[in-house]
């Protein structure tokens, strides 16, 4: 027994000593936010902290989420796997009676960091602030995980790096509320902007805001976008405070900082959907080994963050991991990246996409359903409510009607990158792009087969998941009744083959 104990202590000592020479790895993961930072071309607001982080490091201009909603994005991120490969691709799944276990050879990467001697933590990055950037005294809350599989909370040592042993490196995830700081209602947005005025000294003038061309220049949508831009500014402020802390503690120079968001802005065609509005994300790296002021325009996926982080720490990348070390000298740039959208809440969908340097191709597996299907989550947002009102009143443009409220969707969509930044003009039926359409379709089909895309839930699993979700909603509330009614509609559509 004494010999075993001594051996265990020796192993722990050797791991600690080895880890002490490695960089800290710090992720800053932001909810519901697109690349609306000055360094990415945003003109309405200024974001000096993220801009400086990019100036000091490496900015990726074409980084994409493999999923446009929180839980599936985070499940993919923390494993370095496509969410569709490991069965975690349906939003907020596997949390009740229906359980999901990771396949053999797939593990959450905090466990790998722990085994390599790292202190693993996840929180706000500021001991006296929470994930909403609010002062709370002492914050002991673990940051947002949102994983769609069974996992052991012990993979995190704490919510902050302060508790580690002297000289021990850390793997930290700073989880920020980002675009969720704005509210679902006009009143909530007004309250947030009062806070922004107090804490940031100003608010974004709605008169300076221009919404994308497929949304109406309506005061509700414009004011909401202004509030969103103030969430970007608040995020920038919080990131600055975290970097200041690292610097004051003498940690910044030996810390690889990786800044990114978990998908795009929450709008009618953003979050939950596979257009750039929902999947194009900022990705900025700064720290040891990162060339100052560098920019990369090649295609990368968010699951690559997991692989590059392990590699930076000197930890072997699991053989099964689908993310790649995009910083490796031997790395060959991707010629295509992929994304998937599946059930979100009670709303059933299946969309897949492939992007190349020139094209974005989408396949809608349920084309008989409208883009804006009934959704308890989406329909709770004031911007979607206003769009539905304007649709009922006949107040939308033909473009908005076609993209948001057509009763059916095309089976295939094809868009030109650069020429059509908002993906407004579907070229799938254009004979000039017929060859590209076939090529992109083949690429997607190959990816689906190669990665073992698990597809749509069976009716039995859907029923279990809906029951699990209803168990956490208060019975008798409007939310409960709407969720239940939408789920029954989904079941009927399934039975009808719609």
**Residue 99's beta-bridge partner residues?**
95
pLDDT above 60: residue 154? yes
Contact 299, 355 (CB under 8 A): yes
Which of the four pLDDT bands, split at 50, 70 and 90, describes residue 141?
confident
Rg (CA), the chain: 23
Whose tokens are 């790998």? That residue is 112
Contact 352, 362 (CB under 8 A): yes
| pLDDT average, residue stretch 363-371 | 98
Where are the chain's structural domains? 15-327
Q: What is the pLDDT of residue 19?
A: 55
Contact 299, 62 (CB under 8 A): yes
| pLDDT average, residue stretch 34-38 | 98
* Cα gap 228→45, rounded to integer Å: 11
pLDDT digits (tens, 9 = 90+) for 222-264: 999 999 999 999 999 999 999 999 999 999 999 999 999 999 9
pLDDT above 70: residue 204? yes
Q: What is the pLDDT of residue 21?
A: 85
Q: Are strands 280-286 and 119-123 parallel, antiparallel or unpaired?
A: unpaired
| pLDDT average, residue stretch 465-491 | 97
pLDDT above 50: residue 17? no
Average pLDDT over all residues of the chain: 95
How far is the first Cα of the chain from the last one, in angstroms, to the nearest whole number? 65
Which of the four pLDDT bands, split at 50, 70 and 90, describes residue 5?
very low
How many CB atoms sit inside 10 A of residue 323's CB? 26
CATH homologous superfamily of 15-327 equals: Alkaline Phosphatase, subunit A (3.40.720.10)
| pLDDT average, residue stretch 170-175 | 98
pLDDT digits (tens, 9 = 90+) for 423-451: 999 999 999 999 999 999 999 999 999 99
What sign has the CA pseudo-torsion 87, 92, 94, 98? negative
Which of the four pLDDT bands, split at 50, 70 and 90, describes residue 71?
very high
pTM of the model: 0.95
The secondary structure of 214-275 as a DSSP string is: TS---HHHHHHHHHHHHHHHHHHHHHHHHHHHHHHTT-GGGEEEEEEESSS--SSSSTTS-S
Helix-helix angle 186-200:219-248, to 10 degrees: 40
């Amino acid at each position: 027994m004494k010999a075993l104990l001594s051996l265990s202590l020796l192993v722990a000592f050797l791991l600690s000593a080895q880890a002490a020479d490695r960089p800290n790895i710090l992720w800053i993961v932001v909810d519901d936010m697109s690349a609306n930072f000055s360094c990415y071309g945003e003109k309405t607001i200024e974001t000096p902290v993220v801009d400086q982080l990019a100036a000091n490091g490496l900015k990726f201009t074409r980084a994409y989420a493999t999923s446009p909603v929180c839980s599936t994005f985070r499940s993919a991120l923390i494993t370095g796997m496509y969410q569709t490969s490991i069965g975690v691709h349906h939003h907020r799944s596997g949390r009740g009676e229906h359980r999901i276990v990771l396949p053999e050879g797939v593990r959450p990467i905090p466990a790998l960091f722990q085994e390599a001697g790292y202190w693993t933590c996840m929180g706000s990055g500021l001991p006296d602030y929470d994930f909403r950037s609010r002062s709370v005294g002492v914050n002991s809350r673990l940051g947002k995980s949102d994983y769609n599989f069974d996992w052991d909370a012990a993979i995190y040592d704490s919510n902050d790096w302060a508790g580690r042993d002297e000289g021990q490196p850390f793997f930290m995830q700073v989880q920020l509320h980002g675009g969720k700081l704005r509210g679902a209602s006009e009143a909530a947005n007004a309250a947030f902007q009062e806070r922004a005025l107090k804490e940031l000294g100003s608010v974004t003038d709605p008169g300076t805001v221009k919404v994308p061309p497929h949304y109406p220049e309506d005061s509700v949508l414009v004011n909401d976008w202004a509030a969103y831009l103030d969430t970007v500014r608040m995020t920038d402020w919080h990131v600055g405070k975290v970097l200041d802390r690292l610097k004051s503690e003498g940690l910044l120079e030996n810390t690889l900082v990786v800044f990114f968001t978990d998908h795009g802005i929450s709008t009618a065609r953003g979050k939950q959907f596979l257009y750039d509005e929902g999947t194009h994300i900022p990705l900025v790296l700064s720290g040891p080994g990162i060339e100052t002021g560098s920019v990369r325009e090649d295609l990368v996926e968010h699951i690559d963050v997991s692989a590059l982080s392990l590699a930076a720490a000197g930890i072997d990348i699991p053989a099964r991991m689908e993310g790649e070390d995009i910083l490796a000298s031997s790395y060959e740039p991707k010629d295509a990246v992929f994304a998937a959208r599946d059930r979100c809440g009670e709303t059933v969908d299946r969309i897949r996409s492939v992007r190349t340097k020139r094209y974005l191709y989408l396949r809608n597996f349920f084309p008989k359903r409208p883009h804006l299907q009934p959704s308890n989550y989406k329909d709770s947002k004031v911007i979607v409510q206003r769009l539905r009102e304007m649709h009922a009143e006949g107040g939308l443009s033909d473009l908005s009607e076609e993209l948001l409220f057509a009763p059916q969707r095309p089976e295939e969509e094809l868009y030109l990158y650069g020429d059509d930044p908002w993906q407004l003009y579907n070229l799938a039926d254009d004979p000039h792009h017929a060859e590209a359409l076939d090529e992109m379709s083949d690429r997607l089909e190959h990816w689906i087969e190669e990665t073992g895309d698990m597809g749509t839930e069976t009716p039995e699993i859907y029923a279990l998941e809906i029951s699990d979700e209803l168990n956490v909603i208060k019975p008798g509330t409007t939310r409960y009744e709407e969720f239940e009614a939408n789920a029954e509609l989904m079941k009927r559509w399934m039975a009808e083959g719609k």
